[in-house]
């Protein structure tokens, strides 16, 4: 994914530092790639790992001569985490398809955390795509990613749940999306605000598609 941005390594780059930082961030790169659902790209996990390798090389080559080694390591780590978020956004924005069963999220009881089966049950993929496109216009980036987690929970999260119908803890959502508002309480509040945004958009979608269906009926 970053291959087109790679340039020839600058002359005299510190190979010892490169090898040291590459080894020290090895686990992080594997962990981040493990969190990407390879199904959405039609590639294997090792290919996704190579994207993070490319990102590491790009950042190192760009900054090894203008940042201290310790700062450079932190910069690389942050860049890799942001890169994971960009991959997730790209995957969901491109596809926007329904895959698996819906999983209710942990949250306030009065919130609708899943789309009711009877409201949107259909075999028409075109409608599915229209619904996701509608939600995209109503949600910010993080809320849209969370919405997609609801309708197509990634294997990384599923493996950490006790069952397919388990609620997804807010801390796991925050971990997967790389959200950190400074403390646990603030992060929890932010995740809940995303859920409220999603539920509002779902209600809008029900009204919109119900109206559209009525108009289509009378136009026939």
> What's the CA gap between 22 and 32, in Å, rounded?
14
How far from each other are the two terminal CA atoms of the chain, in whole angstroms? Answer: 47
21 and 82 co-located in one domain? yes
pLDDT at residue number 116: 35
- 158 and 204 within one domain: yes
| In a shared domain, residues 156 and 120 | yes
Question: Which pLDDT score is estimated for 93?
Answer: 57
Closest CA to 175 of 162, 166, 184, 165: 184
Angle between helix 45-63 and helix 26-34 axes, rounded to 10 deg: 130
Q: Are residues 12 and 77 in the same domain?
A: yes
24 and 108: one domain?
A: no
Q: What is the pLDDT of residues 156-204, one digit of tens each?
A: 888 888 765 568 888 888 888 888 888 889 999 999 999 999 999 888 8
pLDDT 10s digits, 30-40:
888 888 877 77
The CA–CA distances, whole Å, from 220 to 146, 165, 179, 213, 216 equal: 37, 41, 48, 11, 7
- The rounded mean pLDDT for the chain is 74
Total structural domains in the chain? 2
Q: Looking at 32-46, 105-119, 184-198, 199-213, which range is the least confident one? A: 105-119
User: What per-residue confidence (pLDDT) applies to 19?
Assistant: 94
* Residue-number span of the structural domain to which 84 is assigned: 3-94
The confidence score (pLDDT) of residue 164 equals 58
Query: Residue 57: helix, strand or coil by DSSP?
Result: helix
Q: Which of 23-27, 43-47, 84-88, 213-217 has the least mean pLDDT?
A: 213-217
Q: State yes or no: pLDDT of 23 exceeds 70.
A: yes
* Contacts of residue 37, Cβ cutoff 8 Å, sequence gap at least 6: 91, 152, 154, 155, 156
Tell me: do 111 and 197 sit in the same domain: yes
- Residue 82 shares a structural domain with residue 153: no
The rounded distance, in Å, linking the Cα atoms of 34 and 21 is 20
In the three-class reduction of DSSP (H, G, I as helix; E, B as strand; rest coil), residue 126 is classed as helix
According to DSSP, the residues that pair with 105 across neighbouring strands are 168
């Amino acid at each position: 994914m970053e291959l087109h941005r790679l340039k020839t390594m600058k002359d005299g780059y510190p190979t010892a530092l490169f090898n040291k930082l590459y080894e020290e961030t090895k686990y992080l790169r594997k962990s981040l790639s493990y969190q990407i659902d390879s199904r959405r790209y039609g590639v294997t996990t090792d290919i996704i790992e190579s994207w993070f390798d490319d990102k590491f090389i790009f950042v190192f080559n760009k900054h090894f001569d203008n940042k201290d080694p310790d700062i450079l390591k932190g910069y690389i780590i942050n860049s890799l985490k942001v890169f994971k978020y960009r991959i997730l956004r790209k995957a969901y924005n491109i596809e926007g398809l329904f895959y698996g069963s819906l999983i209710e999220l942990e949250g306030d009881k009065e919130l609708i955390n899943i789309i009711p089966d009877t409201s949107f049950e259909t075999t028409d993929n075109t409608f599915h795509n229209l619904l996701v496109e509608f939600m995209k216009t109503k949600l910010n980036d993080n809320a849209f990613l969370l919405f997609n987690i609801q309708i197509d929970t990634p294997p990384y999260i599923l493996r950490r749940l006790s069952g397919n119908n388990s609620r997804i803890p807010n801390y796991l959502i925050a971990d997967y999306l790389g959200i950190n508002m400074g403390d646990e309480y603030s992060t929890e509040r932010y995740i809940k605000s995303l859920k409220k945004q999603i539920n509002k958009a779902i209600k809008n979608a029900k009204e919109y598609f119900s109206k559209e269906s009525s108009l289509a009926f009378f136009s026939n």
